Amino acid sequence: MTPYELRLNEWNHVEARHWDVTAWLRECVDAQNTFLALAAGDPLPAVNDHVEAWEANDLFRNVAFYGRYGAMLQPIPMAARRDWISENISNAQLIVDAAPRASGDGVAMEIIAMAAGRWGLDNGSEYIDPTALSLLGNLSSGRVRNLMAGRDAQLKSVNGKVPSADAEQWLANRPGYWPSIWHEEDRIPQQSPKQVHVPCASDGSVFHPGLRRRNGFTIGPKGSEMTLGDFDEALQALSQMSEPRWRRPNESGNWGIVRATSWVAMEESDLRSLK
């Protein structure tokens, strides 16, 4: 594996779940709903909280990947990377600053601290905050502060921060630290098109997003059919059936039930182009 692929592999299998801000975004929505109900004096309908689809998820995910690995999770043109890093760390901080005070922001603040600390090292800052250093070095902040204390301190402390030169030397010997590679060319491989496995009927037709009717996708055997509004949800339900069945129009436009005889892999873009 290339250095980038090693980082991406660890992220996908170990780190991504830890740096997920979805739970925090839900806490923000709950806190806001509580405030609105108290301020209005009457219970109000809860704000739609489909936080999984919010852009903040991608923002924090990309900032976390940079902070943890010093690389770009998504392809960013080389000339734009420096501005991207600075702007997105700032944007993440703006979101945290605007969040309801009653919501916990631990993971979000760790992401910002880690990314800001790395950016300080990458951008020539004179000192690094010990919290950022602990996150970059996979050590508790308490342990890092202990290393900064006493006559035999292993890390120099200047007004509670660590000089960047000392921080870089210490990090170089930490087994969990990944040096930055975002500024190097050809580190991000071309991403393969996403493939989706879908059921295929004997006539070669497949279950696809274009089969959605007004109320959703109709799946299941006759007499026990169900209608689901979301394609991915319907596909998941089909995958759990012993004999996946779904309704689709024939050449005459009449909607009938077909049964899966196999499952095939299709590129997501091709699948979503079917009508």
Domain borders along the chain are 3-172, 195-272
Convert the pLDDT of each residue in 136-151 to its tens digit: 998 888 999 999 988 8
Rounded CA separation 182/184 (Å): 6
pLDDT category of residue 197 using cuts at 50, 70 and 90: confident
Please state the separation of Cα 127 from the chain's center in Å: 29
Residue pair 201/260 in contact by the 8 Å Cβ criterion: yes
pLDDT category of residue 185 using cuts at 50, 70 and 90: low
Q: Which pLDDT score is estimated for 26?
A: 86
Task: Please tell me the total number of residues recorded for the chain in this structure.
Answer: 275
Residue pair 182/240 in contact by the 8 Å Cβ criterion: no
Q: Which pLDDT score is estimated for 263?
A: 86
| Cβ-based neighbours of 132, under 8 Å, separated by 6 or more | 113, 114, 116, 117, 118, 120
pLDDT category of residue 194 using cuts at 50, 70 and 90: confident
- Please give the average per-residue pLDDT across 61-70, as a whole number: 96
pLDDT category of residue 49 using cuts at 50, 70 and 90: low
Rounded to the nearest integer, the mean pLDDT of the chain is 88
Q: Is the pLDDT of residue 190 over 90?
A: no
* 0.85 exceeded by pTM: no
Q: Which pLDDT score is estimated for 40?
A: 83
Q: Is the pLDDT of residue 172 over 80?
A: yes
